[in-house]
Amino acid sequence: MKLSNFNFNLPAELLAEYPAENRDEARLMVVNRKTQTIEHKLFKDVLDYFGEGDVMVLNNTKVFPARLYGNKEKTGARIEVFLLRELNAEQRLWDVLVDPARKIRIGNKLYFGDDDSLVAEVIDNTTSRGRTLRFLYDGSYEEFRAKLLELGETPIPKYINREVTPEDAERYQTIYAKEEGAVAAPTAGLHFSKHLMKRLEIKGVEFAEVTLHVGLGTFNPVEVEDLSKHKMDSEELKISQEACDIVNKAKVNKKRVCAVGTTTMRAMESSVSSSRTLNAFEGWTNKFIFPPYDFSVADCMITNFHTPKSTLLMMISAFCGHDLMRKAYDEAIKEGYKFYSYGDAMLIL
């Protein structure tokens, strides 16, 4: 499989700028690998495909307001700063992306807030757009984090061509988000409502939670024709023993294990035993899944519709089978399914 196998034309009007009014009423395409068939449903119909003892594995990462706007000292130029990861809590060091990057050099200071209550100094260049910042703030660490939350904006994806609204802070968060640390939402989970989760629970479906803090690397375009040469950014991962016990019991009992989202699938595939069971893990993963690939844990998955040439699309191809994935995407475009973060969903059985 080469990069060119994952290209397709996506009409601009199929990019979802707003989610469905009710989370669980987005459209759902059900793709059956065994029968090679496609059905059209609503997301809340996932209820019909799961029963007692089946397990849905969720990524409980929580998006933090990672986009800040500051002004450069002396010139006052407006600079966007996207917080990627905290490097050192004590020294308040962060890896960030800056835009426009050409104006930002080591030694520059950036001022944030109407009253310049937060200042950062650029101490390193990491990539063409990447910088390391040291934040200068007089208060305690808790007060510093509160200041970041106050000044930050929900990091909705760049392709959404509109201003961020206060509603986005809730829209761009799964209802089960707990562990703060992601700069983008694990979007397949955005379709779940409290009501739908309750109905699944009543049916006897169990939930296991893992934490994979989604970084921007997940969305970096692949630029090499030979996929084996693409390097994924590392993302922080935690899988508890409790989650392993729930998943492994379902596998022993021949029940369905459903990965909710590509991040959940990557998390599980990053920590499996030789006997194809899930292992507890705490650390980092840069696992890149592309065809051909033999999946060890989940036997079905819920996902959104992804960008051409993206690592996410490559994983779907590996799980679904490339021809069936292409057929499903052709049909999604023909039927007007909405793509990306706020778009519609796919259940692959």
| Cα gap 81→66, rounded to integer Å | 8
Contact between 132 and 87 under an 8 Å Cβ cutoff? The reply is: yes
Contact between 53 and 204 under an 8 Å Cβ cutoff? The reply is: yes
Q: Which residues contact 214 (CB under 8 A, 6 or more apart)?
A: 59, 61, 63, 182, 183, 184, 185, 186, 235, 263
Q: Which residues contact 145 (CB under 8 A, 6 or more apart)?
A: none
Task: Tokens for 299, please give them.
Answer: 């036997």
| Cα gap 77→104, rounded to integer Å | 10
Q: Domains of the chain, with CATH numbers?
A: 3-63+169-348 (3.40.1780.10), 67-153 (2.40.10.240)
Which of 261, 211, 213 lies closest to 234, judged by CA? Answer: 213
| Cα gap 302→189, rounded to integer Å | 8
Contact between 59 and 74 under an 8 Å Cβ cutoff? The reply is: no
Q: Which residues contact 309 (CB under 8 A, 6 or more apart)?
A: 3, 6, 7, 221, 222
This model's pTM is above 0.85: yes
CB atoms near residue 276 (< 10 Å): 12
Contact between 131 and 96 under an 8 Å Cβ cutoff? The reply is: yes
C-alpha count within 13 angstroms, C-beta hemisphere, residue 191:
26
Residue by residue, pLDDT tens for the chain (349 residues) are 899 999 999 999 999 988 888 999 999 999 999 999 999 999 999 999 999 999 999 999 999 888 999 999 888 899 999 998 899 999 999 999 998 988 899 999 999 998 888 999 999 988 778 899 999 998 899 999 999 999 999 888 777 878 888 888 888 999 999 999 898 899 999 999 999 999 999 999 999 999 999 987 776 778 899 999 998 888 999 999 999 999 999 999 999 999 999 999 999 999 999 999 999 999 999 999 999 999 999 999 999 999 899 999 999 999 999 999 999 999 999 999 999 988 999 999 9
| Cα gap 115→142, rounded to integer Å | 20
Tens-place pLDDT, residues 76-134: 899 999 998 899 999 999 999 998 988 899 999 999 998 888 999 999 988 778 899 99
